[in-house]
Amino acid sequence: MRAWLKLASGIDALNERVGQLMYWLAMLMILIGVYNATVRYLGQFIGHNLSSNAYLEAQWYLFGTMFMLGAAYTLKHNAHVRVDIFYNRLSARGQAWVELLGTVFFLLPFSAMVFYLSLPWVEFSWKLHEISSNPGGLPRYPIKTVVPIAFVLLFLQGVSQLIKAIAVIAGQRERVFENKEEGKPL
């Protein structure tokens, strides 16, 4: 079990780093938005168009990238929205069973399916060197490539959560999820 928990820790570390990168992408997205809004109004004032569809699409691409690549990070930190009536009332073992079953029957199959189904779509986009239909738009194939990458990361994080759930059920760990503030098991 120790080797499996070490694997889970490695997956957690990977998704932690990816999640931290998303903070920087958010800053970049905000800066592009501020720049675009500023030059749009400045351009109206001086009578020249200083803005571009590329800036708007860059913001959209960054937001999409943050959303998709941040999913595994969010799962790691148990920060997804949950509507749980019974989950919080369960013991740590009961919660681990819910996580195990949900991961095995929903998360992992769904992640694998989206990964598999997205590959031809991404490949076709790369073959065409697909670009936006908007004037001055950006290439679309890089952002489409993020979809399978995001679901690989989500699948891996699901494997990590599965390992941790099994460890809780086996009595090798206290909780599946760590405390966000302290990084310690709940």
Q: CA-CA distance, 6 to 158, in Å (whole number)?
A: 15
Q: Is residue 126, in this structure, part of any structural domain at all?
A: yes
Average pLDDT, the chain: 91
Q: Which domain holds residue 39?
A: 2-169
What pLDDT digit, counting tens, does each position of 143-171 carry? 999 999 999 999 999 999 999 999 999 98
Q: Is residue 92, in this structure, part of any structural domain at all?
A: yes
Q: Is residue 182, in this structure, part of any structural domain at all?
A: no
Q: Is residue 44, in this structure, part of any structural domain at all?
A: yes
Tell me: pLDDT of 186 over 60.
Answer: no
DSSP label at residue 6: H
Q: Is residue 177, in this structure, part of any structural domain at all?
A: no
pLDDT given at position 185 = 45
Q: Is residue 181, in this structure, part of any structural domain at all?
A: no
**Cα angle, residue 105 at apex, residues 100 and 110 outer, rounded to 5°:** 120
Q: Is residue 147, in this structure, part of any structural domain at all?
A: yes
What pLDDT digit, counting tens, does each position of 46-103 carry? 877 777 889 999 999 999 999 999 999 999 999 888 777 888 888 999 999 999 999 9
What pLDDT digit, counting tens, does each position of 120-129 carry? 999 999 999 9
Count of structural domains within the chain: 1
User: What residues contact 98, with CB distance under 8 A and at least 6 apart?
Assistant: 87, 90
Q: Is residue 180, in this structure, part of any structural domain at all?
A: no
Tell me: pLDDT of 179 over 70.
Answer: no
Q: Are 112 and 148 in contact (CB under 8 A)?
A: no
